[in-house]
Amino acid sequence: MKAYVAATWGWDEEVQRAIFRERFAPDSSRIVVVDGRGVGVLAVERRATDRFIANLAIAPTIQGRGLGAAILRGVLADAARDAAPTRLHVLHVNPARRLYERLGFVVEGETSTHYLMVAAPPVARAGGGSGR
């Protein structure tokens, strides 16, 4: 995320370390492991009315292989079981927005730095049958 943070606000190592110490929530964060190596992190907040993806970061060396999409599909499936929408914020300069849109997220708001996005849970069909 360093390149996107730097492009948005500039980079100050000490400020970033302080923000990390203040905001990092280990209880809601999970390390993404591939072939025994930690390659990313996922933090999802299960709130009363929705799920909020507070952090999803995949090492640049393995981006573009579908790992982020697979993780997001799992989060969306979990939220769908509770009929809950899933929300996230993405920096304007972060190309991950295209991935989120492919997975059904739409922009529901915007700040000077972020798009606020939501994916609604699938609508249950009445009757549940195929009609055949």
CATH number for the domain spanning 22: value is 3.40.630.30
Residue 43 lies in a domain: yes
As for how many domains the chain has, the answer is: 1
Residue 9 lies in a domain: yes
Residue 132 lies in a domain: no
Q: From the first residue on, what is the mean pLDDT of each consecutive set of 10 residues in the chain (132 residues)?
A: 76 83 85 96 94 94 94 96 96 95 97 96 61 46
3-class SS letters over the chain: CHHHHHHHHCCCHHHHHHHHHHHCCHHHEEEEEECCEEEEEEEEEECCCCEEEEEEEECHHHCCCCHHHHHHHHHHHHHHHCCCCEEEEEECCCCHHHHHHHCCCEEEEECCCEEEEEECCCCCCCCCCCCC
* pTM, 2 dp: 0.82
Domain boundaries, position 45: 2-119
